[in-house]
Amino acid sequence: MATVFLEYGAHIDGNGLIEKQDSPLVAAASLHADQVATLYIDNGASVNHPGCHGGTALHWAAWCGRPAVVRRLIQAGAEINKRCIDFKANPLFWAVHGLKSTDNANVPDYAECVHLLLQAGADQTIPNGEGKTVADLLTEDDVELKRQFH
């Protein structure tokens, strides 16, 4: 359906980019709509727009544990260490916080998101607005995840 909308003139970024309001790409990334997000990226959507909470599509894809979208956003030039507006956290922090906030059913997907972000240069030392870093979110049970960090 998204393809049809674009073919018939829908604007890839909606009716204009407004800070802290989701663009179609941010919405797709946050709703686990991986194919739609990829379609929007491939058609030139603004990848660094700050939507809800000031999080970009990369923040939301990381929060939701969507490695295919994280990978594609990185390839499209998404800002790896951009801090969101409300929480002052980068996408890596969102990925780990998302993992710690779920039922752990998607641990491999979150781990892949973390790996992709670190490989692309995500800075694990950037604190959020409360001064916490990714390391502060990890516990002794996070053995596999901790191996990815220096």
DSSP string, 64-130: TT-HHHHHHHHHTT--TTPPPTTT---HHHHHHHHHHTS-STTHHHHHHHHHHHHHTT--TT---TT
pTM: predicted TM-score of the whole model, two decimal places = 0.96
Mean pLDDT confidence for 77-95: 98
* pLDDT at 133 exceeding the cut of 90: yes
Nearest to 114 by CA among 131, 99, 129, 132: 99
Note the pLDDT of residue 76. Answer: 98
Mean per-residue pLDDT of the chain: 95
Summarised one tens digit per residue, pLDDT across range 49-83 is: 999 999 999 999 999 999 999 999 999 999 999 99
Note the pLDDT of residue 150. Answer: 67
Note the pLDDT of residue 103. Answer: 75
- Second CATH level (architecture) for the domain 2-146: Alpha Horseshoe (1.25)
Summarised one tens digit per residue, pLDDT across range 19-51 is: 999 999 999 999 999 999 999 999 999 999 999
Domain ranges within the chain, ordered by starting residue = 2-146
Quick one: what percent of the chain has pLDDT higher than 70? Answer: 99
- Cα 106 to chain centroid, rounded: 15
